[in-house]
Amino acid sequence: MRVAVFASGSGTNLQALLDACRDGDATIAIVLSNRADARALTRATAAGVPVHVISDANDGTEINDVLASYGIDLVVLAGYLKLIPPDVVRAFEGRMINIHPALLPSFGGPGMYGKNVHRAVLESGATVSGVTIHIVTEEYDRGPIVAQWPVPVIAEDTPETLQHRVQAVEHALLPAVVVAAAKSGCVVRLVPDRVGFAVSAQTTPVERALRAVPLLVSQEE
Ligand code: GRF
């Protein structure tokens, strides 16, 4: 399965994908960004993956042409801060996923990106946040959910500490979804068979717990 990744920023999720997809069923074939200085592009180049800087993020023809020229099967939005033009969404219906750093449908929609999300979670008093991966539709953050994983919020959290804990889960869940899609030939829903994290400010135990829990692949929906 040939995968295109869109990223606007640091690209830590891209890095997790690059690391997971070495010699596997999924190939990261191209990385696209609206920003020429995105760290994500440096990561792609270091991994030997071609990059494309989008000249006009509203121009669906440019993006569709690039995706077609690389024979892309699956598009992954990993921290891409521009809206994908509707003709690109239509061309990749059911084959474009986005990762969001909270449990959608809560804390999604316009303006909900980066630390804004974690700040809103803390201000709401929620005791659980998490990661959502969903199919991209023309409605922002509203497409069918492919995978979710909870992350505990603790009393001492700042947006930064919560972001850190959520990111550790993102870096395991996104590759799991992409690898499962590559093995299945289509995007499949991942369902955890057990949920239960010790509440901890540490990243590592959460990440270890996630890696230790097998994800069951379900094709219903
Ligand atoms: C992640 O938190 C992702 O959920 C959101 O944007 C952030 C990208 O981070 N959509 P990075 O660039 O992968 O480090």
Binning pLDDT at 50, 70 and 90, where does residue 23 land?
A: confident
Which pLDDT does position 208 carry in this prediction? 43
- What span, in angstroms and rounded, lies between the C-alpha atoms of 1 and 178? 9
Which pLDDT does position 212 carry in this prediction? 42
Runs of H (alpha helix) within the chain: 12-20, 39-46, 60-69, 86-91, 115-124, 159-184, 203-212
- Chain-centroid distance of CA 44 in Å reads 16
Which residue's CA is the closest to the ligand 1 atom numbered 14? 12
Query: Hey, which residues are catalytic here?
Result: 100
Task: Indicate yes or no: pTM above 0.85.
Answer: yes
Angstrom distances, CA of residue 181 to CA of 11, 85, 96 = 21, 23, 11
| Ligand 1 centroid from CA 8, angstroms | 9
Indicate which atom in ligand 1 lies nearest the CA of residue 131: 4
**Dihedral, 101, 147, 105, 103 alpha carbons, nearest 10:** -40
Greatest Cα pair distance in the chain: 49
Beta bridge partners of 107: none
Indicate which atom in ligand 1 lies nearest the CA of residue 11: 12
pLDDT at residue 219 is higher than 50:
no
Of the two residues 140 and 193, the one the predictor is more confident about is 140
Specify burial of residue 214 (Cβ count, 10 A radius: 0-12, 13-18, 19+).
exposed
Which pLDDT does position 22 carry in this prediction? 87
| Ligand 1 centroid from CA 114, angstroms | 7
Which pLDDT does position 58 carry in this prediction? 97
Binning pLDDT at 50, 70 and 90, where does residue 107 land?
A: very high
Which pLDDT does position 140 carry in this prediction? 84
| Ligand 1 centroid from CA 203, angstroms | 16
Ligand 1 is surrounded, with C-beta below 6 A, by 7, 9-14, 78-79, 99-101, 170
Indicate which atom in ligand 1 lies nearest the CA of residue 100: 4
Q: Among all chains, which residue has been given the structure tokens 């929620």?
A: 126
Mean pLDDT along residues 43-63? 98
pLDDT at residue 184 is higher than 60:
yes
